[in-house]
Structure 1
Amino acid sequence: MRPDSDHYDLTVALTYYTPYVSGLTEVARAVAEGMAARGARVAVATTRHDDASPARERANGVDVYRAPVRARVGRGVISPGFTSLARRLARRSAVLNLHLPMLEAGLLTRSLPGTVVVATHHDDVWLPTSLTGRAQTAIVDRSVGRALSDADAVVVNNEDHARGSRHWPLMEETGITAVPPPCRIRRRASPTFRDGPGPHYGFLGRLAPEKALDLAIRAFRTIDDPDARLIIAGEDTRIAGGGVAQDLRALAADDTRVRFTGFLEDQEVDELYSSLDAFVLPSIAEESFGISQVEAMMLGVPSVASDLPGMRQPVLTTGFGRHFPAGDVAALAEAMTAVAAFGPETRSAGAERARQQYGASACLDRYEALFASLTGRAAGTDREARPSRTAHG
């Protein structure tokens, strides 16, 4: 740890930070705030993607620095000041923790003597198939590859997902540490989202194309139960790259059993989970984990998830839920019906297994141990002399 007040023990770098909500931002926030709560001096370097956010603030023990945004391209932002801001903080830090994918990643990790670089790889960049999308993907992939080559260690949510990454050879070469995302153990609350005695299915997350929520709606509509409900909750307007809320509402327009809630405040999230009989995660693009499904599982709500690397791991590990072949509407409907019928004992046991496996404390323990081992090793190592790999994935 560095006692100098001008220095930080940890700088976390990512382009989207709170108040933006996604699985990636929630992991970064939990690591930053969790390490600060354990006594570390922590900074976050990010962009001012929300004009209402201050350029600098102290939030929950963390110094948050935001670089101005000049333009937006698809899911990304153009912020010329972000790279220099992040590098300035990184040079004053014992550890730089990047959260990938990130367009600027390869620029942030070059020539940082005395700073340990830990890259947390959440997922490969996913963009709609188009000429522009392919070009953007290639650029981001090259930058991410550069960062992975420069990193001292790579954190992944699980090896199952990491092996399917386009960057797996580089991650394997650097060395991976599997750390499940820190998941909050939420409180039981009033089931305010329940509407009648039938099974209640739900989703919480960004209403983005890759979440494939149209599959959830199509599957739900084959369930012939007038008392059944499907609750789709989460951010539906401020979505990087654009959302699909309007299309989903049109698809469900004549089925009054489907409800859209929009963004939920923290207490409302507790109330949503407490109202559900099953959580549905039908994504067609691989997700590295799916934090919302685990938060629900911890409260006794089994999950139905696509059988894809990463996102299937919580159910595989705990046995609390079902998988279905990605994109198969009939199989999704069948799994939803089966899971909603789980009894109280199955739910209680599943919740306990999920809490033991994925609680935030265990995750932070592993991050803290990794940072400590690397900073101890770096104290006796000339990072400038370390040979740099040249493959960029």
Structure 2
Amino acid sequence: MRIVIVSSLYTPHIIGGAEISTQILAEALVPVADVHVMTLGGHRSGSVRKETIAGVTVHRLPHHNLYWIGESKGKGVLPKTVRRLVDLYNPRIIGAAGKLLRELRPDLIHTQNLSGFGPGVWTASAGAPILHTLRDYSLLSPVSSPLGNPALAKLYAMTSGGFSKRVAAVVGISGHILKRHTDAGLFSKAARLVIPNAVEGRIAAADKDFDRKPLRIGYFGRIEPEKGVREMIEAARMLPPDVVESVVICGEGSQREELAASCRQDNRFRFPGKVKPEEARRLMAEMDANFVPSIWEEPFGRVIIESYQVGTPVYASAVGGIPDAVASPDEFLFRPGSATAIRDKIMAYHVKSAEQKRRIQAACLEHCRKFTQASLLERHLELYARTLSGGGDYAVSAAYGQVQ
């Protein structure tokens, strides 16, 4: 079976979790399929550049746009919007994609994030069935974030919706992101299901002194307004040192300097910046509890599973796809944007007994085993077989969690 995965970016060009998840899927398929990735390179014109990475044949097409998506950092709202509007139908990139697909003659095409290609690339399928995985909201808005211009977003979603009728099956990495798109009218003819991301990492709990009471709490991710870091800091500052001993805010972003400055008089707070994955795991393991206080609709909660892998529980906002990733959501979710709600969860964990904390850790370790590469491969092979056989009667249900 020959599979072509289409993705805006591919390793070593990584912006976030979408690129990591696409790479995990591609490499998981290598033992059972001839896997090709069609992606965009940093060159604006010229020929397709081909290389092999971990058994995956990668084809980097010229981006044929205002700028390459891999160079988005620092671009203003206007150029970003113009580039994404070009995506709606870019005949040069669609032509290049169609030419390559006719040469490769895949059995299946599996598209991922399409910023840079645009949904018009679904017209270049060369007769192969198309599957699509929803990893962000870029089909609903030219700025792929909480929708700030409803009229523009509606026009954008209508265009994406028309092209999406060519898709045979659509996968949401959470029940929320799938429902968000289908409620907007996209993928009206597609089979629908949820397959959560695989999160690589050794599952091994760090030793913890469950009897100690002052808590060490952590945040790992971008430090931006929509991530709710300010609210988490406010919550921790409400509590005395005999409840919160230390707070680690790990990551970079537009709010880092401002928030670090606001905490200079409180030596409980540390801002180590962006660290390597192995250092992040070590820090996660040292915490008593980690927090994901996002305000915006996160498509998934990768950092939640990463924390579970080292045996540290996570309290998180009840927003977007986060509930699908959280173990025991009734206990570990809180209202987004509320410092008071976060404070209450800190206190709730502080008063737990050592035995309760041990049971929570065991539950976290068990829960994260559902998000392994083996599980991801099994679910996708089943999907591919059903699609190739013409079957597509899938119920819309979250794999783990709730469809909201």
Q: Which residue of 1 aligns with 2:133?
A: 120
Which whole-Å CA distance do the structure 1 matches of 2:173 and 2:147 have between them? 26
Classify the secondary structure of the residue corresponding to 1:300.
coil
Tell me the equivalent position of 2:117: 104
Kept in 2: contact 1:123–1:288 (CA 8 A)? yes
Equivalent residue runs for 1:135-150 within 5 Å:
137-138=153-154, 140-150=156-166
Alpha-carbon distance, 1:260 to partner: 2.0
1:339 maps to what in 2? 349
After TM superposition, the structure 1 = structure 2 runs for residues 313-324 of structure 1, keeping only pairs within 5 Å, are 313-315=324-326, 317-318=327-328, 322-324=332-334
Matched, 1:62 2:56: yes
Q: Which residue of 2 aligns with 1:228?
A: 245
Q: Give the Cα–Cα distance (whole angstroms) in 1 for the partners of residues 50 and 32 of structure 2.
A: 22
Residues 1:178 and 2:170 are matched in the alignment: no
Identify if the C-alpha distance between structure 1 residues 57 and 103 changes in structure 2 by more than 3 Å, giving closer, same or farther: closer
Deviations 1:10-32 (A, max 9, x none): 22322475442422222212111
What's the offset of the Cα at 1:295? 1.7
1:240 match: none
- Name the counterpart of 1:328: 338
Aligned partner of 2:256 among 217, 223, 245: 245
Give the residue type in structure 2 aligned to 1:252: C
Q: Secondary structure in 2 aligned to 1:374? A: helix
- Out of 315, 338, 350, which is 2:363 matched to? 350
After the TM superposition, list the runs of 4 or more consecutive aligned residues in structure 1 that deviate by more than 6 angstroms: none
Q: Could you give the per-residue CA deviations for residues 277-329 of structure 1, whole angstroms, max 9, x where no partner exists?
A: 112111111112211111212322111111124211222x5459511111111
TM-score when normalising by structure 1:
0.77
The aligned counterpart of 1:154 is 170
Q: Does 1:27 align with 2:18?
A: no
CA distance in 2, matches of 1:208, 1:217: 13
The 5 Å alignment of 1:245-264 reads: 245-264=256-275
User: Of the candidates 269, 277, 283, which is equivalent to residue 266 of structure 1?
Assistant: 277
In structure 2, do the counterparts of structure 1 residues 338 and 38 end up closer, same or farther at CA, with 3 Å as the change threshold? farther
Query: Could you tell me whether the CA contact under 8 Å between 2:26 and 2:56 is conserved in 1?
Result: yes
Aligned equivalents of 2:31, 2:182: Cα separation in 1: 35
1:85/1:221 Cα in 2 relative to 1: closer, same or farther (>3 Å)? farther
Confirm whether residue 284 of structure 1 aligns to residue 301 of structure 2. Answer: no
Structure 1 residue 168 displacement after superposition: 4.7
Which residue does 2:316 correspond to in 1?
A: 305
Tell me the alpha carbon deviations over residues 34-85 of structure 1, each in whole angstroms, 9 at most, x when there is no partner.
1124443232413439xxxx96543222233343574345585949775555
Structure 1 gaps of 5+ residues are: 3-8, 238-242, 379-393
Rate the CA distance shift 1:253–1:303 in 2: closer, same or farther, 3 A: same
Per-residue Cα deviation, 1:328-379 (whole angstroms, up to 9, x for no partner): 110111113323565442233212331332222112211122123323439x
Alpha-carbon contact 1:280-1:303 (below 8 Å) kept: yes
- 2: CA distance between counterparts of 1:45 and 1:310? 26
Shift of 1:179: 0.4
Is the 8 Å Cα contact of residues 6 and 38 (structure 2) preserved in structure 1? yes
Q: Deviations over 1:152-176 (max 9, x none)?
A: 1100123244324475543464221
Decide which moves more: 295-304 or 218-227: 218-227
CA distance in 2 between partners of 1:129 and 1:244 (Å): 21
Change (3 A) 1:325 1:312: same
TM-score (norm 2): 0.75
Q: Which of 42, 46, 49 is the aligned partner of 2:40?
A: 46
Query: Structure 2 unaligned runs (5+)?
Result: 139-143, 392-404
Deviations 1:77-136 (A, max 9, x none): 949775555444444233222224636332110142322211111232444676xx6676
The SS at the match of 2:30 is helix
SS in 2 for 1:151: coil
Partner-residue secondary structure (3-state), 2:321: coil
Q: Does the 8 Å CA contact 1:157/1:289 hold for their aligned counterparts?
A: yes
Using the TM superposition, name which of 284-293 and 134-143 deviates more.
134-143
Secondary structure, aligned partner of 1:296: helix
Aligned to 2:325, the other structure's residue is in SS state helix
Whether contact under 8 Å (2:182, 2:188) holds in the other structure is: no
Q: Deviations over 1:230-284 (max 9, x none)?
A: 22223x26xxxxx433333344343332222222223213212211211211111
Percent identity, aligned pairs only, is: 21
CA distance 1:335–1:270, shift in 2 (3 Å): same
Secondary structure of the residue aligned to 2:131 is strand
